[in-house]
Amino acid sequence: MVSRVIPVDPFDLVIFGGTGDLARRKILPGLFRRFRAGQMDAESRVIGAARSDLDVDGYRAMVREAIAEFDPASARDSEALEAFLGRLGYVVVDAMGETGWDDLEREVNSDRIRAFYFSVGPRLFGELAERLHKHGMADHDSRIVVEKPFGRDLESAKALNATLAQHFHEHQIYRIDHYLGKETVQNLMAVRFGNTLFEPLWNSQYVDHIQITVAESVGVGGRGEYYDRAGAVRDMMQNHLMQLLCLIAMEPPAKFEPDPVRDEKLKVIRALDPVEPGDVVRGQYEASSDAPGYNEQVENQGSTTESFVALKAHVSNWRWAGTPFYLRTGKRLKARASEIAVVFKDAPHSIFGAEAGRHANILTIRLQPNEGIELGVTIKEPGPGGMRLIDVPLDMTFAEALGPDDADFPDAYERLIMDVIRGNQTLFMRDDEVEEAWAWTDPMIAEWEARGEPPLPYASGSSGPDEALALIHRDGRHWREIKP
């Protein structure tokens, strides 16, 4: 099966922070893949804009190196790479001052779609919006892409929304959450709303509970300074995990279009009960024999920032009353593994007797690694010996089911950037969604800050603190194993 690639209209994409880590690792290699796939029009341009004192040749050399490092397989297509590098421009720009803005204005072509990717630190988001406006680049058709973190609490998120709104309309603002660009996450919606099989069962009558795990095996690394001011709730829970929760829990939108989808997600966040203090476990990883502990990687040695959080959430509406959502995320855990598991209730009565065993159906949506969807189905264990039941997976791993061509999916960033050019905001967060998400996490954070309780230590390479296991055990349930 070969994917259909629909080219987008010609565009000029300016990447503020075009020399930074995110641009080099994700944005530029992603754009190159879209270029190779024929999705990026041959006239379109990508313009790096950053403080580094480079000329366009220097920038091209930097991008060539970045693509060779982060996507060596694509970089081997040297003809395409040279053609792509030919589409690059570079302007030295200071977001905080006047340097370079006139040059940038000359560089972007007003006949094409203009998109400005804010891949810089969050303190510059407002400055960039203001200067784009001042220099006449905030016309009705231009778009801005805003990276995370979008604020650090409700108040700062509101202030940032207000600043952006002074210069751009909401339909021009693309708040990126790359989890929403993942193939599987969109497939979750296809599975839910494209089949009659699941939706009738998608409620508290049939679903026992839902687990969302986003586990990382790495520590804070070089991001210690930012991370220590944020922590797992601000860095991951408020955005990525909540977005996943929304997609799992939302009512069917009337259409797969930006506002119908985002309206339904917003209703989920508004239906969330405040989290009980006893339903949250915070942790911080300790040193291991071969890696430093959290406290050795951040400047503040006595830091009480959490690198792990697990919590139980309740969506208080007709569909989900009585079905808990268990969410956890953390660093330096057993493996890099992210999944959503919808755990259905046991069959109401076993006709096979206790010795046959009972198994709940589990629908697993794996985000990484090996993106795919798997449904655990109970069957008879083959062979003689009576009726014993076992679980077998109906595996919908994309690479296996669809063949190698389709397994070469655009990665989340490239898909989302193409959506920006198409003007499709379905997979981007709206202002009210972001604010409501902070309104839910703020009281939780304020509560533990007021208590001043430090996070619980956990061993590197573990599943987090034992108390996180107890959080779900006490309800007679257990976490799924974190495995690569």
Specify the DSSP element, H or E, that contains 139: none
CB closer to ligand NAD, 66 vs 340: 66
Least Å from the CB of residue 1 to ligand NAD: 32
240 is catalytic: yes
We find the least distance from the C-beta atom of residue 54 to ligand NAD, in angstroms, to be 10
DSSP string, 373-395: EEEEEEEEPSSSSS--EEEEEEE
Q: Which residue's CB is nearer to ligand NAD, number 375 or number 417? A: 417
96-115 residues near ligand NAD, rule: CB under 6 A: 96
Residue count (the chain): 484
121 binds ligand NAD (CB under 6 A): yes
The reply, when asked if residue 178 is annotated as ligand binding, is yes
148 assigned binding-site residue: yes
120 binds ligand NAD (CB under 6 A): yes
Radius of gyration of the chain (CA): 24
Question: What is the distance in angstroms between the CA of the first residue and the CA of the last residue of the chain?
Answer: 28
- Nearer to ligand NAD by Cβ, of 45 and 178: the residue is 178
- How near is the Cβ of 100 to ligand NAD at its closest, in Å? 8
DSSP assignment string, 30-83: HHHHHHHTT-S-TT-EEEEEESS---HHHHHHHHHHHHHHH-HHHHT-HHHHHH
* 216 annotated as belonging to a binding site for a ligand: yes
Stretch that binds ligand NAD, among 15-23, 159-167, 252-260, 264-272 (CB under 6 A): 15-23
Distance, in Å, from the CA atom of 27 to the CA atom of 417, rounded to the nearest integer, reads: 8
Q: Give 176 or 396: the residue with its C-beta nearer to ligand NAD.
A: 176
Rounded-to-integer distance, Cα 202 and Cα 197, Å? 10
Adjacency order of strands within the sheet including 45-50: 88-92, 45-50, 11-16, 113-118, 143-146, 173-175
Contact pattern for ligand NAD over residues 148 through 187, marking x by CB under 6 A: xx--------------------------------------
Q: How far is the CB of 149 from ligand NAD (least distance, A)?
A: 6
- CB-nearer residue toward ligand NAD: 149 or 181: 149
Where helices occur in 118-241 by DSSP H, the ranges are 125-134, 154-167, 183-194, 224-230, 232
Q: Which among 240, 314, 473, 478 is annotated as catalytic?
A: 240
Consult the annotation and say whether 18 binds a ligand.
Answer: yes
Q: Do residues 392 and 377 lie in contact, with contact meaning Cβ atoms separated by under 8 Å?
A: yes
Residue 453 DSSP class: P
Binding mask 67-96 for ligand NAD (x = CB under 6 A): --------------------------xxxx
Determine whether the annotation assigns residue 182 to a binding site. Answer: yes
Residue 421: CB minimum distance to ligand NAD, A: 19
Q: Which parts of 297-326 interact with ligand NAD (CB under 6 A)?
A: none
Q: How far is the CB of 368 from ligand NAD (least distance, A)?
A: 14
Query: Does 446 show up as a binding residue in the annotation?
Result: no
130 sits near ligand NAD (criterion: CB under 6 A): no
**Which own/partner pairs from 135-140 qualify as long-range (CB within 8 Å, at least 24 positions apart)?**
135/101, 135/102, 135/104, 135/105, 136/105, 137/104, 137/105, 137/108, 138/167, 138/168, 138/172, 139/110, 139/114, 140/169, 140/172
Q: Is 235 known as a binding-site position?
A: yes
Q: Is 312 annotated as a binding residue?
A: no
The nearest distance, CB 226 to ligand NAD, in angstroms, is 7
Q: Is 119 in the site for ligand NAD (CB under 6 A)?
A: yes
The answer to whether 331 is annotated as binding is yes
Minimal CA–CA distance to 223: which of 372, 20, 377, 389? 20
Query: Toward ligand NAD, which CB reaches closer, 25 or 359?
Result: 25
Q: Are 174 and 428 in contact (CB under 8 A)?
A: yes
Residue nearest to ligand NAD (CB): 20
| Residues ≥6 apart with Cβ < 8 Å to 65 | none
| Number of residues this chain uses to bind ligand NAD (CB under 6 A) | 23
Contact predicate 59/48, CB 8 Å? yes
Using CA atoms, how far residue 396 sits from 213, 222, 247, 402, 458, in Å, is 19, 36, 19, 9, 34
Q: Which is nearer to ligand NAD, 272 or 420 (CB)?
A: 420
Yes or no: say if 352 and 165 are a contact pair by the CB < 8 Å rule: no
Tell me: does residue 225 bind ligand NAD (CB under 6 A).
no
Task: Spell out the alpha helix ranges (H) of 273-351.
Answer: 294-297
Q: How far is the CB of 144 from ligand NAD (least distance, A)?
A: 13
**Long-range CB contact pairs, 421-424, < 8 A, 24+:** 421/8, 421/9, 421/11, 421/13, 421/113, 421/115, 422/8, 422/9, 423/113, 423/143, 424/258
Q: Which of residues 18-57 bind ligand NAD (CB under 6 A)?
A: 18-23, 50-52
Tell whether 329 is in a known binding site. Answer: no
Binding-site residues from annotation: 17-24, 51, 148, 178, 182, 216, 235, 331
Residue stretches of the annotated binding site for substrate: 178, 182, 216, 235, 331
| Chain residues in the site for ligand NAD (CB under 6 A) | 16-23, 50-52, 93-96, 119-122, 124, 147-149
Q: Catalytic site residues? A: 240
Instruction: Show binding-site residues for NADP(+).
Output: 17-24, 51, 148
